Amino acid sequence: MTSRLVVLVSGSGTNLQALLDACADPDYGARVVAVGADRDGILALERAERAGVPTFVHRVKDYPSREEWDAALADDVAAYQPDLVISAGFMKLVGAAFLAKLRGRFLNTHPALLPSFPGMHGARDALAYGVKVTGATLFVVDEGVDTGVIVAQRVVEVEDDDTEETLHERIKVVERQMLVDAVGRIAREGYLVTERRFRFGSERPRS
Ligand code: GAR
């Protein structure tokens, strides 16, 4: 069975594009059934429309409270009956209503090696700290800020002459590969989580 993906975006959508491209292969095991955003006029929404994927937008400022925004977003996402929801450059934290509906099926990709450098500026913060390696992390979203169970990570070396932009662009190259690889494996093989340990496949390891 093909897994149904809903992808949430806020920006240029290169991670979304990588998933759309991967899903064009029927053997990949997943397809993007909808793309949601927290703002209009972004390249990511154009990419979805070009691929013929339905889109929806919920702007926080259009709601009387953050909780109502969160509930409306959760309702729209859940209506597409996703097997997985992927935050791919979605620059908002979801709340209790969203997690109540979609917990365990909601993944986020982050441009740093968590638990280092969580938050909005993973590449900038790693560069400012002076680390020599950083990378990308895919994780299962929980109530914290970038604290969930880790699904996959990829490493990138920091170069002496890196700027935030050059470093983030190199991270995004491995991030897209990580995302496509991990989402495809989850779709085809399933996964198990034991405490904080994530494993692909549905067979429990011998203890
Ligand atoms: C990605 O690098 C993603 O990890 C980052 O935004 C970029 C989106 O790129 N997300 C965060 O920093 C979330 N904390 P894209 O729009 O080209 O896919």
- Which of 12, 39, 110 to probe ligand 1 with, by most ligand atoms within 8 A of CB? 110
Query: Structure pTM?
Result: 0.97
For residue 111, the ligand 1 atom closest to its alpha carbon is 4
Q: How far apart are CA 205 and CA 192, in angstroms?
A: 10
Q: How far apart are CA 104 and CA 170, in angstroms?
A: 29
Phi, psi angles (nearest 5°) of residue 136:
-135, 150
13 lines ligand 1 (CB under 6 A): yes
Q: What is the pLDDT of residues 19-47, one digit of tens each?
A: 999 999 999 999 999 999 999 999 999 99
Same topology, domains 1-103 and 109-137+152-200? Answer is yes
CATH homologous superfamily of domain 109-137+152-200? Formyl transferase, N-terminal domain (3.40.50.170)
Domain-by-domain residue ranges, the chain?
1-103, 109-137+152-200
CB 23 within 8 A of CB 30: yes
Tell me what pLDDT residue 202 has: 83
**Quick one: 168 exposed, middle or buried, by C-beta within 10 A (0-12, 13-18, 19+)?**
buried
Strand ranges in the chain using DSSP code E only, listed in sequence order: 3-9, 30-37, 55-57, 84-87, 106-110, 133-140, 150-157, 191-194, 197-200
Q: How far apart are CA 19 and CA 174, in angstroms?
A: 13
Q: Let me know if 110 is a catalytic residue.
A: yes
Mean pLDDT by 10 residues, the chain (207 residues): 97 98 97 98 98 98 98 98 98 97 97 98 98 98 98 98 98 98 98 96 72
172 lines ligand 1 (CB under 6 A): yes
Taken in order 118, 122, 128, 131, the sign of the CA dihedral is: positive
Half-sphere exposure of 141 (CA within 13 A, CB side): 26
Taken in order 97, 100, 106, 112, the sign of the CA dihedral is: positive
Tell me what pLDDT residue 207 has: 56
Tell me what pLDDT residue 203 has: 75
**Residue written as token pair 């949601």:** 36
CATH homologous superfamily of domain 1-103? Formyl transferase, N-terminal domain (3.40.50.170)
**Residue written as token pair 């897209």:** 176
